[in-house]
Amino acid sequence: MSTALKTEAGRDALGKALLDLAGQIPELVVLDADVSSSTKTADFGRAHPDRFFNVGVAESNMIDLAAGMATCGLRPVASTFAIFLVLKGAEQIRNTVCYNNLPVVFAGGYAGLSDSYDGASHQSITDLAVMRAMPNMAVVVPGDSVEVRQALDQALRRNGPTYIRIGRNPTPVLFEGAEPFKIGKIRKLRDGKDVTLAVCGVPLFMAMEAAELLAIEKIQVDLLEVSTLKPLDVETLVASATKTGKVLTIEEHSIIGGLGGAVAEALGKHAPSRMEVIGVEDRFTESGDYSALMTKYGLSVRAIREKARKLARATNP
Amino acid sequence: MKNDFVRLDPVSVVLEGNRSKKAAQMQRLAQECRVDVLDVLHDKGTGHWGGASSCAELVTALYFHMMDVRPEEPQWPGRDRVIVSKGHASCMIYSVMARRGYFPREELDTFRQINSRMQGHPCMNKTPGIEMSTGALGHGISVAAGMALAARLQKRKSWTYVIVGDGCLDEGQSWEGIMTAAKFKPERLVMLVDYNKVQLDGPSAEIMPMDPLPDKFRAFNWNVAPEIYDGHSVASILQSWDWLLAQSDWPAVIIYKTVKGRGVSYMENNHKWHGPPIDDTTYATARPELLKTLSELEVAQ
């Protein structure tokens, strides 16, 4: 990834944030499914062994345990790799946590392609689609490690379930000292009239770079960081789409059901626009270097720039 | 035939007398609840008879004898909790809870109907006193373990019971929960097995053999009650709890021998009565059987 900026991994931010919040929120408990040294919840476990529950490789069980604790007033964070959390735990997430609107925070680690060398079995590119379809669930995709910390802090104070998507690898720190993000609000990073770029998660830094390069070509990008897919900040999105009439979404996820889907659903109703979606096509991925994988599966500054340029130059009917 | 289900005394029940008198009253109460369930299932044309009937005495004795609860304040933090992992027993749970005073008994008349608090499977956000929404099998043990661990952290002396059935134990998650509970050993976590040995598609021995169940639990490091108790005798259930109250080794499990469809001769031990509608012909023969037993219990009392 970029060497110019300071980098930090989302998982490291999660580990630190849990430790920081332990004192402030005495009800905070953490559960993990035998990957705590990877997800970095182990640090919390060492500091607060009575408030940490490693349940072994048993994701469904972990989620229901967390649900039981939540009914008694505890504030559980259930953490494991996103792919197993969301897919092995889908029925528990739906029928136990979401149905009862319980305040469980799901920390989906190693998300997107970030568990790059482990291959397709470990790469979570359907989690946003699944989680978005769960009633009561808030779906949050932080753009950097600073937002991971803020997302956790805010999620632990919400009255309902929250999914926070977290990456494995160091990525550029974008928001140190910036105005804190808010769950449910789009962060506007650039003002432009030619094309809207709506992006979530790790590819945000790529979109920021692409937008700068496009500005040199006199293409002015309206750059939106959509860190919350649900509830979606429809107002800000619609205002941007109404202005530009052209929207490109960018996500480290299948093109089905994630950010692109969320934006299309909203715009289809409120502001039909010409739209393109950048994400992983409907296919399985593979092992490899994270950056190489991102590029191969469509996520790069170049790909964003090209699609945005094409979209900006297209004539709206 | 229109149902008669408000024919029985619509009062919330207070038990009186010594232990054997109370046991006899609960025995009768459980049978009354069976009649309620049959009436409601017949009237609404939907619901599960087999598994509801099989836990009548167990649920009655829990709510009327064992659990420290406040129906007028269902969210009282110090309460004992029961998770009915076999959520298809919902109608029996509602019937017992109504008699315990959680909601009016007339509300059973809305079972499984639109805009009702009496959902087909229990829903904690709709029905006062329901501790966890269930229906999908296999959840209860994990949820109960979570609640019991919360009690430990919060330094509460609450008891957490989870009622499971045969089908529930087919689910892999049940065994994940069983291992987790054995690891963390939460105090006062108790599994009650409604072991009727029949599941939806047939006898468990054919569908998914579960025996030797006590050995399985022992191998998973649970504290297993020394005998299998009669789940249709309140006196026997109370004896099992004498054992339970003397324990300090957690989690604990008690297995109850029960009969699926208990109370109607041709429905007993027959998987075909897991959940079909009770039609008029069936109702006309089934209800008198239940009432006959009820009147015998009254005489005994």
- Contact yes or no for B177 and A51 at CB 8 A: no
Domain of A218: which CATH number? 3.40.50.920
Please tell me which residue of chain B has the smallest CA distance to A64: B143
ipTM: 0.95
- In the structure encoding, which two tokens stand for residue B57, read together? 């005495």
Q: Both A162 and A208 in a single domain?
A: no
Q: Per-residue DSSP letters for B255-277?
A: EEE--TTTTSGGGTT-GGGSS--
| A-B C-beta contacts closer than 8 Å | 100
Residues of A in contact with B146 (CB under 8 A): 64-72, 76
What SS3 state is found at A38?
helix
Stated pTM of the model: 0.95
pLDDT of residue B17: 83
Query: Is A73's CB within 8 Å of B180's CB?
Result: no
The dihedral over CA atoms of A255, A257, A263, A269, expressed in degrees to the nearest 10, equals 130
Tokens of A231: 């509830």
Q: Which of B83, B125, B154 sits opposite A100 (nearest CB)?
A: B125
Q: Which domain holds residue A11?
A: 7-172
Closest approach of chain A CAs to the CA of B19, in angstroms?
Answer: 32
Q: What is the pLDDT of residue B1?
A: 37
* CB-based contact, A26 to chain B, within 8 Å: no
Smallest CA–CA distance, residue B129 to chain A, in Å, is 12
Average pLDDT over residues A241-253: 98
Strands A170-172 and A7-9: antiparallel
**pLDDT confidence band for A317 (50 / 70 / 90):** low
* Measured CA distances, B284 to A208, A286, A301, B49, B288 (Å): 74, 64, 75, 15, 7
Binned at pLDDT 50, 70 and 90, residue A5 comes out as confident
Would you call B146 and A66 a contact, using CB atoms and an 8 Å cutoff? yes
Decide if A110 is inside a domain.
Answer: yes
> How confident is the model at residue A295, as a pLDDT?
98
Whether residue B257 contacts residue B229, with contact meaning beta carbons closer than 8 Å, is answered with: yes
Query: What is the distance in angstroms between the Cα of A254 and the nearest Cα belonging to chain B?
Result: 29
Number of C-beta neighbours around residue A113 at 10 A: 29
Residue A133 resides in a domain: yes
* A50 has a chain B CB within 8 A of its CB: yes
**Residue B139: which of A53, A55, A96 has the nearest Cβ?**
A96
Q: How many other CB atoms are there within 10 angstroms of residue B292's CB atom?
A: 11
Distance from CA of B282 to the nearest CA of A (A): 34
Burial B146-177 (b: 16+ CB within 10 A, else e): bbbbbbbbeebebbbbbbbbbbbbbbebbbbb
Cβ separation B131–A95 shorter than 8 A: no
Tokens standing for B181? 């509970």
| CATH classification at residue A121 | 3.40.50.970
**pLDDT of amino acid A4:** 59
B146 and A95 within 8 Å at the Cβ level: the answer is no
Tally of domains in chain A: 2
Average pLDDT over all residues of chain A: 97
Q: Which residues of chain B have pLDDT under 50?
A: 1-11
Same structural domain, A140 and A45: yes
Helix axes B140-153, A59-71, angle to 10 degrees: 50
What span, in angstroms and rounded, lies between the C-alpha atoms of A4 and A206?
Answer: 13
Both A44 and A160 in one domain: the answer is yes
Over residues A24-42, mean pLDDT = 98
Question: Is residue B7 helix, strand or coil?
Answer: coil
Instruction: Indicate if A304 and A257 belong to the same structural domain.
Output: yes
**CB atoms A74 and B135 under 8 Å:** no
Are residues A161 and A264 both part of a single domain? Answer: no
Q: What is the pLDDT of residue B12?
A: 57
User: Among residues A144, A172, A200, which one ends one of the domains?
Assistant: A172
Q: At residue A128, does pLDDT exceed 60?
A: yes
Measured at the alpha carbon of residue A80, what is the angle toward residues A22 and B144, in degrees to the nearest 5?
75
Q: Are residues A80 and A127 in the same domain?
A: yes
Same domain, A166 and A253: no
Same domain, A221 and A113: no
Residues A262-294 pLDDT 10s: 999 999 999 999 999 999 999 999 999 999 999
Residue A1 lies in a domain: no
Which two three-digit tokens encode residue A292? Answer: 């190489």
Best of A28, A32, A64 to mutate (most B CBs within 10 Å, chain B): A64
Distance CA B125, CA B136 (A): 16
Digit-coded pLDDT (tens) for B274-295: 999 999 999 999 999 999 999 9
Q: Is A53 on the interface with B (CB under 8 A)?
A: yes
Q: Do A68 and B149 touch (CB under 8 A)?
A: yes
Together in a domain, A213 and A161: no
Same domain for A252 and A136, yes or no, is no
φ/ψ bin of A55: left (φ > 0), alpha (ψ from -120 to 50), beta (otherwise): alpha
Residue B5 confidence (pLDDT): 47
Give me the domains of chain B, ranges plus CATH numbers.
19-300 (3.40.50.970)
Residues 63-122, chain A: which have Cβ within 8 Å of B? Answer: 63-74, 76, 91-92, 95-96, 99-101
Interchain CB contact of A38 with B (< 8 Å): no
B:87-146 residues touching chain A, CB 8 A cutoff: 123-125, 131-133, 135-136, 138-139, 142-146
3-state class percentages of chain B: helix first, strand second, coil last, to nearest 5: 50, 10, 40
Q: Least CA distance to B174: which residue of chain A?
A: A61
> Chain B contacts of A74, Cβ < 8 Å?
150, 153-154
**Cβ of residue B85 closer than 8 Å to a chain A Cβ:** no
Q: B75, B123, B149, B183: which to substitute to probe chain A, counting the most A Cβ within 10 Å? A: B149
Domain end marker among A106, A138, A172: A172
Task: Return the exposure string of A12-37: e unless at least 16 CB atoms fall within 10 Å of the residue's CB, then b.
Answer: bbbbbbbbebbeeeebbbbbbbebbe
A73 contact residues in B (CB cutoff 8 A)? 77, 150, 154
Q: Are the C-beta atoms of residues A171 and A1 closer than 8 Å to each other?
A: yes
Chain B 157-176, CB below 8 Å of chain A: which residues? 172-173, 176
Residue that finishes a domain, picked among A172, A203, A231: A172
- Nearest chain B residue to A54 by CA distance is B180
Helices A59-71, B172-184: axis angle to 10 degrees equals 60
Same domain flag for A84 and A201: no
Residue A91 belongs to some domain of the structure: yes
Same domain, A17 and A112: yes
